[in-house]
Amino acid sequence: MKKYVLLLFYLLGGWGFAWADTGDMADKGKELYLSYGCALCHGWEGKGDGINSQKFQPPPTNFHNLQAYLHGSDADSLRRSIQNGIKEDNSIMPAFEDMSADEVDEIIVYLKSLQKRD
């Protein structure tokens, strides 16, 4: 019996860590989002309403609205959009080629967290 209780604690503890982990990554992602200047176009909260947003057609994506994504809202598509930029349709979305793989991952976790919020 004792063994099972311990096992349960172990499993719950593991979940706790998993949670904390994505939370941390999203926080780091938000810092990177701000320091790379994504907010200038995509807005402080990622709602597509940055100070530069009025000038562009297509407008900067509102990351909260799944329908607003023109190039896919899953992790792989986000990675592609960030690393390659978007070169079609006169899009202004720049390529962030020098960002490290870890940084891209952290920003993706942040963007995914926005997709779950209004």
Binding residues for ligand HEC (CB under 6 A) = 36-38, 40-42, 52, 56, 58-61, 69-72, 78, 81-82, 86, 89, 91-94, 96, 107
CB of 118 to ligand HEC, least distance (A): 18
Q: How far is the CB of 17 from ligand HEC (least distance, A)?
A: 26
Strands, E, within the chain: which ranges? none
- Is residue 17 classed exposed, middle or buried when 0-12, 13-18 and 19+ CB atoms within 10 A define those classes? exposed
- Cβ distance to ligand HEC smaller for residue 22 or 75: 75
User: Which one, 22 or 99, has the nearer CB to ligand HEC?
Assistant: 99
Residues 6 or more apart whose Cβ sits within 8 Å of residue 32: 99, 103, 106, 107, 110
Three-state secondary-structure class, residue 37? coil
Looking at beta carbons only, is 26 or 96 nearer to ligand HEC? 96
Shortest distance, position 7 Cβ to ligand HEC, whole Å: 40
- What whole-number distance in Å separates Cα of residue 84 and Cα of residue 40? 19
Q: Classify 56 as helix, strand or coil.
A: coil
Q: What's the closest the beta carbon of residue 76 comes to ligand HEC, in angstroms? A: 11
